Amino acid sequence: MHKTSIILSVLGLMAALGCELAIAPMAQAQPANPYHLKPSGQPMVIRSFLKDGPARSINVGFPEGIHLSFDAQVPRVALAWTGDFLDIGPDRGYGNANDRGGRPAVILGSPVSVGDLGFPFSHSGKEPSHIEFLGYRIHPTVTFYYKFDGAISVEHTVSPASPGQGLTYHFKISGATDALSFRLNAAQVNYHSDKGQQRGSHLLLSSDEARDFSIHVFPRKN
């Protein structure tokens, strides 16, 4: 069914049921379709299934017009896109009394690469193990917390890169005793960091450098 038809059906049904009209669940200015989310003022953080994305997706929308999906299963930025943020209607059943919802939300904008190669960190040249997601902060910044190898803790703040359509990751890593590697697909993205040495798809950092560093990631324009 066409989206407009769905909306009209929902409104008609709700009116028939004597219900108040549904409005968006987020307390921010909204576009006409209440389920098409568009952040304004502050970042919008919303968990849902995501079409062609992770089941444990934490979707972050920025007013600057770039958005991302952070995967809480394998902690990393898995996807990014520009334009409008998210159609959350499939998750919410569009408020329709007949719709159970629970379906993946849909990215509204245009995908841009983040050079995803899976969990990005390795320590002392070993494959990471015991990866554990610990939670996220939404105020004053959007920051994800996770750890790996049992003792290495990562604080990962995400924000729009300036200038351009990219992302900035600010990391604070504790517990490392040896060199760290952060990897992303350099064939898909350009990146630069204020610490460490870039070696193709790997950013190499000493444990001291890893305590506080930033990476700016931009999709390659082919």
Partner 1 sequence: MKQLFQHINLAACLLLSIGIVGAAEDTWEKFPPGYSIEKITTPVGVQFGVSGLAMDRHDNLFVCTREGQVWKFSDPNWLLVAEGLHEPLGILVEESTGHLLVVQRPEFTRLIDENGDGKADFLQTISDDWGLTDNYHEYAFGLVHDKDGNYYGTLNTSLSWPGWAGSDRWDIARVHDSKMGRAAPYRGWSFQISPQGTFTPWSAGLRSPAGLGINNSGDIFYTDNQGDWNASSSLHQIVRGRFHGHPSSLMDHPDFAGKDLNSISTEDYHKMWTRPAVWLPHGELANSPGEPTFDKTQGKFGPFAGQFFIGDQTMSNLMRVSLEKVGGEYQGAVWNFIRPLECGVIRQVFDSQGRMYVGQTGRGWRSAGKDVFGLRRITWDGSTVPMEMKNIRLTQKGFRIVFTHPVDEAVFENPENFQVESWGYLYHANYGSPKVDEKKLPVDIRRAPNNPAVVIIDLPLETEKVYKFTLSGIQSQTGVPLTNSIGYYTLNRLKAPR
Binding residues for partner 1 (CB under 8 A):
14, 17-23, 25-27, 44-50, 55-56, 72-73, 91-93, 95-104, 133-139
Among residues 221, 95, 29, 66, the alpha carbon closest in space to that of 158 is found at 66
Least Cβ distance, residue 52 to partner 1 (angstroms): 10
Q: Which is nearer to partner 1, 157 or 206 (CB)?
A: 157
State the minimum distance, in angstroms, from the CB of residue 56 to partner 1: 4
Q: In degrees rounded to 5, what are phi and psi of residue 100? A: -70, -20
Which conformational region is residue 58 in: left (phi greater than 0), alpha (psi within -120 to 50 degrees), or beta?
A: beta
Q: State whether the Cα torsion 53-45-159-164 is positive or negative.
A: positive
Beta bridge partners of 174: 153
User: At its nearest, how many Å lie between partner 1 and the CB of residue 212?
Assistant: 20
Q: What is the dihedral of CA 140, 143, 147, 148, to 10 degrees?
A: -160
* CB of 100 vs partner 1, minimal distance in Å: 3
Residue 15 to residue 3: CA distance in whole angstroms: 18
- Among 75, 40, 45, 62, CA closest to 112: 62
Both tokens of 63, joined, read: 């007013």
Question: Which one, 23 or 221, has the nearer CB to partner 1?
Answer: 23
Measured from the CB atom, the residue of 91 and 149 that comes closer to partner 1 is: 91
- DSSP 3-state assignment of 118? coil
Name the minimum Å distance from CB 132 to partner 1: 8
Nearer to partner 1, 94 or 218 (CB): 94
C-alpha dihedral (199, 214, 74, 43), degrees to nearest 10: -140
Question: Residue 142 or 176: which CB sits closer to partner 1?
Answer: 142
Closer residue to partner 1 in complex, CB, 49/119: 49
For the bound state, the minimum distance from the C-beta of residue 215 to partner 1, rounded and expressed in Å, comes to: 23
